[in-house]
Amino acid sequence: MKELLSPGHTACPACCDTMIAKFTLRALGEDCIIISPTGCLEVTTSAFPTSSWNVPWIHSLFENAGAVASGIEAALKAMNKKEDTKVVVLAGDGGTLDIGIRSISGAFERGHDIIYICIDNEAYMNTGVQRSGATPFNATTTTSPSGKVSFGNPLPKKNMPAIMNAHGAPYVATATLAYPKDFMKKVKKAGSIEGPTYIHAHAPCTTGWGFDTSKTVEIGKLAVQTALWPLYEIENGTITSVKKVKNKKPVEEYLRMQKRFKHLFTKEGGEEEIAKIQKIADENIDIFGLQ
């Protein structure tokens, strides 16, 4: 099988971005157009005069992927060239939840036939691990560092799938690199549905989260097994499937493996902070009926 994302790119070993891009293309095949806003995926795959992309690919700006995708879809339809071509955004969390939220909101409200995949590594990794709206509670980043009077990011993670569901998207799903078959199944499903579809993918970042490059998949699985990253599908506003969490693991197992949560295990008061994170996981169990 021809890989549609060529090796030789400059991503870190164990990088989730390029693996998610590769699985996306395996799921969709050649007949697609990819839009990547500014970020790790763009930088690592398009250093002029090289390109890793064996499908048409465009990078415009950081905050406009939703609009660029809309314009591509509208142009294909106007020129009667849409046929089965999939218009797919592969964006990071900053470009989606924060600076790009206006343009994704417009694209979904207008109902363009696009697939938007957010590769969520929970901070601005391309610029050196700064906090984004997707950074989880109590994670340390370079702009939400833990310190004498801080346990890191004091704010909850923005619930982007809920926001996209509120736009009336016919399909919203969460996924993770750690379960690639599940991820590809969801991408295929998104591709089979007319209208704007959204997949929010957990993307452990070895550099930004601080773990050994052999542990990407393990971390990804632990996020699901602790219920910190619930896997679900929402179709036309209704939850239609969840991945049940059997033998739920305590959040410590997930947090302990990552340097971004190390302070929770070394600082006085850390236990109480971990308990707060456990509460988030427990709430997910209830909200999504994970058990």
Partner 1 sequence: MAILREADKDKMTVVEGSYAVAHAVKVCRPHVISAYPITPQTHIVEELSQFIADGEIPNCAYMNVESEFSALSALVGSAATGARCYSATTSQGLALMHEVLFNFSGLRLPMVMTIVNRALSAPINIWNDQQDSISQRDTGWIQLYAEDIQEASDMIAQAYKISEDKDVLLPAMVCMDGFILSHVYEPLVLLEEDLTNEYLKPYETNYKLDPKNPLSFGAFADPSSYTEFRYLQQQAMDKAINKVEEAADEFKELYGRYYGGVIDTYMTEDADIILCAMGSIIGTLRDVVDNLRSNGKKVGLLKVRAFRPFPAEAIKQAVSNTSVIVALDKNISIGLNEGALLTELKSILYNTNLNMPVIGFSIGHGGRDIPEKTIEDIVQKAENVIKSGISHESEFVDLREDLI
In the complex, which residues of this chain contact partner 1 (CB under 8 A)? 30-33, 35, 42-43, 46-51, 53-61, 63-64, 66-81, 85, 102-103, 105-106, 109-110
We find the least distance from the C-beta atom of residue 83 to partner 1, in angstroms, to be 10
Nearest CA to 153 out of 140, 165, 164 is that of 140
Q: Which is nearer to partner 1, 41 or 129 (CB)?
A: 41
We find the least distance from the C-beta atom of residue 125 to partner 1, in angstroms, to be 16
Three-class SS of residue 196? Answer: coil
Phi/psi at 200 (5° precision): -110, 110
We find the least distance from the C-beta atom of residue 216 to partner 1, in angstroms, to be 25
For residues 96 and 91, give the distance between their C-alpha atoms in angstroms, rounded to a whole number: 6
We find the least distance from the C-beta atom of residue 42 to partner 1, in angstroms, to be 7
Ordered DSSP codes for 132-176? -TTPPTT--BTTB-EETTEES--SPPP-HHHHHHHTT-SEEEEEE
- The residue behind tokens 């989730």 is 16
Q: Which is nearer to partner 1, 73 or 120 (CB)?
A: 73
Nearest CA to 62 out of 88, 87, 107, 93 is that of 93
We find the least distance from the C-beta atom of residue 20 to partner 1, in angstroms, to be 18
Bridge partners of residue 235, in order along the sequence: 171, 238
Q: Which is nearer to partner 1, 110 or 189 (CB)?
A: 110
Q: Which is nearer to partner 1, 37 or 180 (CB)?
A: 37
Cα torsion through 209, 210, 216, 222, rounded to 10: -70
Q: Which is nearer to partner 1, 75 or 287 (CB)?
A: 75
Q: Which is nearer to partner 1, 66 or 220 (CB)?
A: 66
How far CA 223 is from CA of 17, 58, 107, 252, in Å, comes to 17, 32, 30, 11
Residue 24 corresponds to which tokens in the numbers above? 């996306």
We find the least distance from the C-beta atom of residue 78 to partner 1, in angstroms, to be 4
